[in-house]
Amino acid sequence: MKIRQLFDYDTWTYTYILWDEATKEAAIIDTVLEQVERDLQHIKELGLTVKYLFETHIHADHITGAGPIRKATGGKIVVHKNSHSECADILADEGDEFKLGEQTITCWHTPGHTNNDITYVIEGAAFTGDTLMVRDCGRTDFQLGSNDAMYASLQRLFNDLPEETQIFPAHDYKGFTQTTIGEEKQFNIRVGNNRPYEDFEVIMNNLNLPNPRRIDIAVPGNLKCGDLES
Amino acid sequence: MKIRQLFDYDTWTYTYILWDEATKEAAIIDTVLEQVERDLQHIKELGLTVKYLFETHIHADHITGAGPIRKATGGKIVVHKNSHSECADILADEGDEFKLGEQTITCWHTPGHTNNDITYVIEGAAFTGDTLMVRDCGRTDFQLGSNDAMYASLQRLFNDLPEETQIFPAHDYKGFTQTTIGEEKQFNIRVGNNRPYEDFEVIMNNLNLPNPRRIDIAVPGNLKCGDLES
């Protein structure tokens, strides 16, 4: 699978274009509304046919571009069923598989940041959204987030993915672009080096983060798949 | 060769850590002074031995972190001989080769943005600095830049690297992280699709860009390799 990583500077969001080189069938993970024009142009130049628009979760920090890209390309919007999204085409669940050519993308339900997080797993790589991030993990204090669930999701990724698996997060705030399971098992500041749940819970309960600037427009906007006029 | 891309948010600069997995010998391309602590920590966690600190050119938009990283790791600083740098360990020229384990990094002199640009070429990829950028190229209006030289350098990269070569630039301002020679030959807005030199010259002469904010401190700082107290 070919992977192209793109960055939205204003919201520190990574968008990923995946494609099967043989068939040029493509998927896009976590688009950003303000970048739709860039992304459509790039897809066109790469000669891709968009089959799927995957969301790792209903975002609180930016509005997805999935709706407008669906209109332009015919791709199907995929989100986890717990989102109760009425604009998505497919409400996915644990174990669901999607194909690009002969290549498979598998959904793992990895809640904790929200109740509707999906990690999209391909051979050798995983797109972990706001669950596993570089040396970090997503916050758990809104949108039905949960320390219990986050800890369990991170342990699952550590236990069930090979150490050399490349990890691509939805965001990074220090300039990292990727990591591996092996690195995070050792060096993740919240759960690495076998840190027990009790320590993790104390850390997470004391982050004292402000709400995302755009949460009040982002969540409703994302429940419309970014089709703000609809 | 393993490649890890890192981003400096303030100056939109990409730093690259390359390493040979067998020996863990590493090189870092285009560090940023403000990110030295991050980079040293990352190198330590990856278990790498830094052999080389490569500069693609004497930058005008940020100060390198190569000097402080040299102090911490013993890596040798490499810049093109045209820079007349007195702080570098190695003044490199066209065709010079450096080894990480059994893997080779070759210097191509690709001037145009400055007179001292190096593209670092490895198997399957090239680090093109401010010469070839995603759909773009570096400006040519200061630091002994030259439209003639830039055009020739871009044509050389297009002609002498395979189309599937992955291209990693020193900067991007639209959120792109990489491209390929094949894409740029078609879609580069300044020289793609066989655009002739006469058109390129008109485009470059009409960019009317302001000077980089930090040019007056960056260039002298880089001629000290970022060792500002020395």
Domain count, chain B: 1
Segment B77-90, tens digit of pLDDT: 999 999 999 999 99
A186 chain-B contacts, CB cut-off 8 A: 45
A72 to chain B nearest CA, in Å?
A: 21
Q: What is the mean pLDDT of residues B8-35?
A: 98
Is residue B224 one of the residues assigned to a domain?
no
Is residue B125 one of the residues assigned to a domain?
yes
Largest CA distance in chain A: 49
Residue A164 has pLDDT above 90, yes or no: yes
Is residue A116 one of the residues assigned to a domain?
yes
- Which residues neighbour B219 within 8 Å (Cβ) at sequence distance 6 or greater? B58, B59, B60, B143
B186 chain-A contacts, CB cut-off 8 A: 45
Q: What is the mean pLDDT of residues B12-25?
A: 98
**Per residue, what are the HEC states of chain B?**
CEEEEEEECCCCEEEEEEECCCCCEEEEECCCHHHHHHHHHHHHHHCCEEEEEECCCCCCCCCCCHHHHHHHHCCEEEEEHHHCCCCCCEEECCCCEEEECCEEEEEEECCCCCCCCEEEEECCEEEEECCEECCEECCCCCCCCCHHHHHHHHHHHHHHCCCCCEEEECECCCCECCEEHHHHHHHCCCCCCCCCHHHHHHHHHCCCCCCCCCHHHHHHHHCCCCCCCC
A81 to chain B nearest CA, in Å?
A: 30
Segment B152-194, tens digit of pLDDT: 999 999 999 999 999 999 999 999 999 999 999 999 999 999 9
Which residue of chain B comes nearest to A167, CA vs CA?
A: B4
pLDDT of residue A143: 87
pLDDT of residue B213: 85
- Please tell me which residue, B211 or B137, carries the higher pLDDT value: B137
Choose among B9, B45, B187: nearest Cβ to A183. Answer: B45
Write the CATH number for B99: 3.60.15.10
Flag if B183 and A4 touch (Cβ within 8 Å): no
Predicted complex ipTM: 0.96
pLDDT cut 90: percent of chain B above it: 96
pLDDT of residue A138: 97
Mutate one of B9, B38, B173 to test the A interface: name it (highest A CB count within 10 A).
B9
Chain B stretch 28-47, residues whose beta carbon is closer than 8 A to a beta carbon of chain A:
35, 38, 42, 45-46
Choose among A7, A45, A177: nearest Cβ to B183. Answer: A45
Segment A101-143, tens digit of pLDDT: 999 999 999 999 999 999 999 999 999 999 999 999 999 998 8
A174 chain-B contacts, CB cut-off 8 A: 38
Mutate one of A176, A179, A183, A185 to test the B interface: name it (highest B CB count within 10 A).
A176
Single-letter amino acid code for the residue at A69: I
CA angle A66, A68, A70 (to 5 degrees): 65
Is residue B86 one of the residues assigned to a domain?
yes
Query: What length does chain B have?
Result: 230
Chain A stretch 110-139, residues whose beta carbon is closer than 8 A to a beta carbon of chain B:
none
In angstroms, the CA A131 to CA A125 distance is 15
Of A135, A130, A126, residue with least CA distance to A111: A130
Q: How far is CA B14 from CA A64, A177, B9, B106, in A?
A: 26, 10, 9, 20
Flag if A177 and B46 touch (Cβ within 8 Å): no
Segment A144-154, tens digit of pLDDT: 999 999 999 99
Task: Confirm or reject contact between B176 and chain A (CB < 8 A).
Answer: yes
Flag if B177 and A5 touch (Cβ within 8 Å): yes
Question: Where in the sequence is the domain holding B74, given as residue range(s)?
Answer: 2-206
Which residue of chain A comes nearest to B41, CA vs CA?
A: A187
pLDDT of residue A47: 98
Single-letter amino acid code for the residue at B125: A
pLDDT bucket at B214, cuts 50 / 70 / 90: confident
In angstroms, the CA A49 to CA A27 distance is 8
Is residue B216 one of the residues assigned to a domain?
no
pLDDT bucket at A230, cuts 50 / 70 / 90: low
pLDDT of residue B221: 95
Residue B230 has pLDDT above 70, yes or no: no
pLDDT bucket at A213, cuts 50 / 70 / 90: confident
Residue B20 has pLDDT above 70, yes or no: yes
Instruction: Say if residues A147 and A112 touch (Cβ distance below 8 Å).
Output: yes
Calculate Rg over the CA atoms of chain B.
17
**Per residue, what are the HEC states of chain A?**
CEEEEEEECCCCEEEEEEECCCCCEEEEECCCHHHHHHHHHHHHHHCCEEEEEECCCCCCCCCCCHHHHHHHHCCEEEEEHHHCCCCCCEEECCCCEEEECCEEEEEEECCCCCCCCEEEEECCEEEEECCEECCEECCCCCCCCCHHHHHHHHHHHHHHCCCCCEEEECECCCCECCEEHHHHHHHCCCCCCCCCHHHHHHHHHCCCCCCCCCHHHHHHHHCCCCCCCC
Q: What is the mean pLDDT of residues B47-53?
A: 98
In angstroms, the CA A117 to CA A228 distance is 23
Q: How far is CA A35 from CA A14, A22, A214, in A?
A: 11, 27, 16
pLDDT bucket at A97, cuts 50 / 70 / 90: very high
In angstroms, the CA B191 to CA B183 distance is 12
Mutate one of B2, B3, B4, B44 to test the A interface: name it (highest A CB count within 10 A).
B4
Is residue A51 one of the residues assigned to a domain?
yes
Is residue A198 one of the residues assigned to a domain?
yes
For residue A29, what are the β-bridge partners? A16, A54
pLDDT of residue A197: 98
Flag if A7 and B175 touch (Cβ within 8 Å): yes
Q: What is the mean pLDDT of residues A49-53?
A: 98
Strand A118-122 to strand A103-109: parallel, antiparallel, or no bridges (unpaired)? antiparallel
